[in-house]
Amino acid sequence: MRSDNKLAKILVQLDTGKTEDDEGYGNSSRTSKINKLQMDDGSQGMTGQVPGQRQVLELDELAFTQGSHFMANKRCQLPDGSFRKQRKGYEEVHVPALKQVPFEDKEELQPIDKLPKYVQPVFEGFKTLNRIQSRLWRSALESDENMLLCAPTGAGKTNVALLCMMREIGKHINEDGTINADDFKIIYVAPMKSLVQEMVGNFGRRLACYNLTVSELTGDHQLTREQIAATQVIVCTLKMGHHYT
């Protein structure tokens, strides 16, 4: 089939996995291969893609294959004061609550009303950023550097994600407060499909005052080209991320 020019073109567009021809097939070579195919006949191909420069993100290559099976700790030592109780059919492990590390000399919580004005509506109802967010907000909001935040459940990581989104949104706000909503897309990858709707609800509410649209893109909820064009924040799973380039 690959010898048939038309079919080969479709195959390259659809193929997200590697084949023997694709050995060492990195992002750039894949993109240029697709671009070349598009240029060969001067068309945009048969994929219904919006004209313009396209970038292919190989999410598979970014994925950490060991996922939640990864255990960096070779030894598991419980903190002082922990104890175990054998019960019928299960074991109870009691771990004392962590004591909060005292604030450093100049460390303080960042008041929401001292954040840049355009960010404040996202944090309506919050008085200050919490400790982790207060440490991170400048990196999230004032730089495009990658960020890795590892914090326990309930630590407030979602607000850090929102700060990162506001970084991008802030680049497209005009002086009169309007937003050039067609000039950017934000993709939020949730670890599980069950979390996608929850995040769409959360982000949708928090970004509604900016007139931004948040949509779900999963196996259960596909988006048409028009819907994608009308959406600024796409919440998907890693699996569905393949289909959006």
Ligand X SMILES: Nc1ncnc2c1ncn2[C@@H]1O[C@H](COP(=O)(O)OP(=O)(O)OP(=O)(O)O)[C@@H](O)[C@H]1O
155 binds, among ligand X, Mg ion, none (CB under 5 to 8 A by kind): ligand X
User: Tokens 């067609």 — which residue?
Assistant: 182
Site for ligand X in 108-167 (CB under 6 A): 126, 129-130, 133, 151, 153-159
Going by their DSSP bridges, the two strands 214-217 and 186-190 should be labelled as unpaired
- What, of Mg ion, ligand X, none, does residue 130 touch, CB below 5 to 8 Å by kind? ligand X
The CA distance from 86 to 91, in Å, is 5
CB contact set of 123 (below 8 Å; sequence gap of 6+) = 112, 115, 129, 159, 162
181 binds, among Mg ion, ligand X, none (CB under 5 to 8 A by kind): none
**Distance of closest approach, residue 5 Cβ to Mg ion, in angstroms:** 47
Q: Which is nearer to ligand X, 49 or 197 (CB)?
A: 197
Tell me, residue by residue from 111 to 150, as one string, x for binding to Mg ion by CB under 5 A and - for no binding.
Answer: ----------------------------------------
Among residues 23, 1, 51, the alpha carbon closest in space to that of 14 is found at 1
Q: Which is nearer to ligand X, 57 or 149 (CB)?
A: 149
Nearer to Mg ion, 35 or 158 (CB): 158
Nearest to residue 223, comparing CAs of 211, 234, 207?
234
The listed partner (Mg ion, ligand X, none) that binds 121, CB under 5 to 8 Å by sort, is: none
Find the shortest distance in angstroms from Cβ 73 to Mg ion: 23
| Residue 189 sits in the site that holds ligand X (CB under 6 A) | no
Interface with ligand X (CB under 6 A), residue total 12
Subset of residues 151 to 170 that bind Mg ion, contact rule: CB under 5 A: 157-158
Q: How far is the CB of 131 from ligand X (least distance, A)?
A: 9
- Minimum distance from CB of 237 to ligand X (Å)? 15
Residues found near Mg ion in the complex (CB under 5 A): 157-158
Residues found near ligand X in the complex (CB under 6 A): 126, 129-130, 133, 151, 153-159
